[in-house]
Amino acid sequence: MIVHTLGFPRFGAHRELKQALERFWSGKSSKAELLQAGKLIREAQWSTEARAGLDLITVNDFSFYDHVLDASAMLGVVPARFHDGEKAAQGGDLDTYFRMARGRSQVGAAAKADVAACEMTKWFDTNYHYIVPELEENQRFALSSRKVFDETQEALSAGYRVKPVLLGPLTFLWLSKSAGKDFDRLSLLSSLVPVYQEVIKTLDCARGMGATGRADLGAGPATGVARGLLRNLSLLGGRA
């Protein structure tokens, strides 16, 4: 039996993430310092999971704000009001990420102007609140953030066998809302699935070779399940 978890709390044993975010948002620390704080939290999480005897270490469960917002960034779902540069429009910019979440990133002279944040609502009627993706009827999706790949490689380089986790395409569409006039958001499935297939293929390559070029460092049960699911969804999406 292979032992693994769905994910690990992202805040840190002593609420390190909250403290790091507050320092960054107030302008008291740099982006580099925030990224380093996140790296240390992930390393502590992975170490805890390994010491507990897990066969696979879950990656991409860490987030600086919200895993649904992470998915929006990965898929390039950035509303037009946040487009103030190529990186921002694609979703790979940390300042844009925080502006989508809370209307602003850092305070200070170099701070970007405040803008209306994305809506926040309950995750399946629980007390967890997520950032709602805003979708256009002609929405285009494109792989726009390397977060899942970078964190997978980070864990592989530390010698762990990994299991990346992703918010699935149907869940992403279901949790989203229409920007402007209402439409059937699930009709976007056929254009969304190819991006997920690209993600899974890239993760398969990364985990198959690992950090040292050895095969099967990251072999795990989730890969085959995700691949089969996306194959079925691509067939469904073609009829949507």
* Model confidence pLDDT, tens digit, residues 170-193: 999 999 999 989 999 999 999 999
pLDDT for residue 117: 95
Do 44 and 36 form a contact (C-beta atoms < 8 A)? no
Tell me: the pLDDT tens digits for 201-212?
A: 999 887 664 443
Using the predicted structure, report yes or no on whether residue 226 has a pLDDT greater than 80: no
pTM of the prediction?
A: 0.85
Do 151 and 60 form a contact (C-beta atoms < 8 A)? yes
Contacts of 91 (CB under 8 A, 6+ apart): 72, 73, 74, 75, 76, 77, 78, 97, 144, 145
Using the predicted structure, report yes or no on whether residue 88 has a pLDDT greater than 60: no
Computed over every residue of the chain, the mean pLDDT equals 86
**Residue 59 β-bridge partners:** 164
Do 192 and 76 form a contact (C-beta atoms < 8 A)? no
- CATH among 3.40.50.410, 3.40.50.300, 3.20.20.210, 3.40.1310.30 for 16-238: 3.20.20.210
Instruction: Place 85 in a pLDDT band, splitting at 50, 70 and 90.
Output: low
Rounded to whole angstroms, how far apart are CA atoms 84 and 80? 9
Dihedral sign, Cα of residue 200, residue 205, residue 210, residue 215: positive
pLDDT for residue 207: 62
- The strand ranges marked E within 123-197 are 129-131, 134-135, 162-164, 177-178
**What is the share, in percent, of the chain residues with pLDDT greater than 70?**
80
CA distances (Å), origin 44, targets 8, 15, 95, 182, 229: 11, 12, 25, 44, 32
Using the predicted structure, report yes or no on whether residue 229 has a pLDDT greater than 80: no
Using the predicted structure, report yes or no on whether residue 214 has a pLDDT greater than 80: no
